[in-house]
Amino acid sequence: MTTQVATARLSLEGVEYEFPIVEGTEGEKAIDISQLRAKTGHITIDPGYGNTGACKSSITFIDGEKGILSYRGYPIDELAARVDFIEVCHLLIFGHLPDRAELDHFKHDLMHHSLIHEEMKKFFEGYPPSAHPMAILSAMVASLSAYYPERNDDRDEKLNIIRLLAKLKTIAAFSYKKSIGQPYVYPRNDLSYCGDFLHMMFAVPAEPYKVSPVLEHALNLLLVLHADHEQNCSTSTVRMVGSSGANLFASIAAGLCALWGPLHGGANQEVLEMLEAIHRDGSDYQKYVEMAKRKDSGFRLFGFGHRVYKSLDPRANILKHTADRVLDELGHKDPLLDIARELEAVALNDSYFIERKLYPNVDFYSGIIYRAMGIPTNMFTVMFALGRLPGWLAQWKEMKRDPANRINRPRQIYTGENRRAIPTFEQR
């Protein structure tokens, strides 16, 4: 819900124009330029959309200057401490925290849709063992539309949302088992969402697998922290693709591809590989901080910086303390955690990072926890996707119901050749 609070005036080529200034429920203000081109013949240009609001949304709020993040008004640190991932999925997708009956019903639905069609197992056979699991995940999610064609009614939509939420963890675990040549482990209905995922990932036929409460709790926290993050690159991709009328599975498959990028969800894998490189290089973290400051190095301190957060990402703060606790509870010592801490301390006191307001983001510590859980580095972005799925689903659903929504089609400023005649072969 926004209200018009003032008017912006634009003086252009001697003509005065007025545009409404609207305010959101947390006091954010925007100039509504939806009539700009019709009134002035001009468009705006904003590469990377750093100053452009694509939609109004009631799902997630971020205040980047204050390091605030909330899902439907509940602060992230309170959700992380008190609510499990399936409750957060319900909150994001259906708009409220479930009561006991709703939660039991939701969990029952998710359990009874966690299998994938047996025919889909054949898809895995075509991939080389070296296939990145994100390639498999996005292809498998798009392929779900072949098994569950959308009839564009609300009942269908809700069922497909449940199906995807239930099946993504199965597809993720199967892609891991495929990559290590082990047999698939099927979902179990007597385990929690997180327990079932860990079981499908790490159980082997030869011996019984007992889900560790420490790992189950750590995974639940990681998934809650990744569940939504307003209009980030992958969520905007889901909205963009969905705005054309493409089905839910195609829209989420596109979001998975966007998340895969090393500047976005792929950063957690990059952080681990960076920390391992520093460790191999005698833990000379100062050298890498200096390299990150030199543009010509082409090197960035992965896990640092954020388009929106210009103070510490609240999720990074929670994960920093979680890494400590999980490693202690597992009795692990990880030199990479020590390197990460040193990197953070040096960077936060270095003028290059201070001036640019570069702080650790959600990806900086998450990989250390995944590693302690035994999850391989190339599965880290898959873990991010498992967490982000409810956010994508909620944002896609909100977009479909937004009366202001229409196919996303940005404009451009053309900088190419002016009109010219086609040369003959002799003239080329």
Residue ranges that bind ligand SDX, judged by CB under 6 A: 48, 229, 232, 263-264, 267, 292, 300-308, 356, 358, 361-363
Nearer to ligand SDX, 264 or 400 (CB): 264
Question: Residue 292: helix, strand or coil by DSSP?
Answer: helix
Nearer to ligand SDX, 132 or 315 (CB): 315
- Position of minimal CB gap to ligand SDX: 305
To the nearest whole angstrom, how small is the minimum distance from the Cβ of residue 271 to ligand SDX? 7
To the nearest whole angstrom, how small is the minimum distance from the Cβ of residue 48 to ligand SDX? 6
Identify whether the C-beta of residue 134 lies closer than 8 Å to the C-beta of residue 260: yes
- Nearest 5 degrees, angle CA 333-CA 342-CA 330? 20
Question: Residue 63: helix, strand or coil by DSSP?
Answer: strand
Which of 92, 406, 399 shows the shortest CA–CA distance to 251?
399
Neighbours of 372 (CB within 10 A): 20
What's the one-letter identity of residue 343? L
Name the catalytic one among 196, 313, 334, 363.
Answer: 363
Q: Is 334 part of the annotated catalytic residue set?
A: no
To the nearest whole angstrom, how small is the minimum distance from the Cβ of residue 293 to ligand SDX? 7
**H or E element in which residue 62 lies:** strand 60-63
Q: Is 306 part of the annotated catalytic residue set?
A: yes
Is the dihedral angle over the CA atoms 70, 61, 354, 343 positive or is it negative? positive
Instruction: Return the half-sphere exposure (C-beta side, CA atoms, 13 A cut-off) of residue 333.
Output: 1
To the nearest whole angstrom, how small is the minimum distance from the Cβ of residue 241 to ligand SDX? 17
Name the catalytic one among 199, 306, 313, 334.
Answer: 306
To the nearest whole angstrom, how small is the minimum distance from the Cβ of residue 188 to ligand SDX? 30
Quickly list H helices, 294-379. 314-330, 335-348, 351-355, 363-372
Query: Where in the sequence numbering do the catalytic residues fall?
Result: 306, 363
